[in-house]
Amino acid sequence: MTSPRNVLLYQAGVHLCRGEGSAGRGMYDRASRYGWATNTGADGSGEVDCATYRAVRSVLEQQASETFACAEGRPPTWPTDTDRDDPRTNTTTTAITRTGTTTLTTTS
């Protein structure tokens, strides 16, 4: 995935397809913290991301997907100075390169 937001958005879609509305809503709410800008240019996945966003929101709000517009822009990127933590969890992984150890931190 090119964006941590998309991990959450697509996971929301998986939950909704399984009939897990509450879990889908939770992932959607977490994704919304990143904003909804989508890159529809040649170097982006915005067309698919937009369709997924519209479908997820359509299910959650029980409205036609055409009701929801996608914002053009750059989606949030992964941090470049840390490991790619799984945004679906509350666990942050921090690697300590000097000793080669890894620290796991769980937040609530």
User: Which residue, among 3, 104, 17, has the nearest Cα to 48 in the 3D structure?
Assistant: 3
Tokens of 35: 């904003």
11, 20 in Cβ contact below 8 A?
Answer: no
Tokens of 42: 């040649």
How do residues 45-57 score in pLDDT, each as one tens digit?
788 899 999 999 9
- Other CB atoms within a 10 A radius of the CB of residue 99 amount to 7
Higher pLDDT, 21 or 102: 21
89, 105 in Cβ contact below 8 A?
Answer: no
Q: Where are the domains of the chain?
A: 4-77+84-106
How do residues 33-92 score in pLDDT, each as one tens digit?
999 988 876 666 788 899 999 999 999 999 999 999 988 888 888 777 666 666 666 755
pLDDT for 91: 56
Global pTM?
0.75
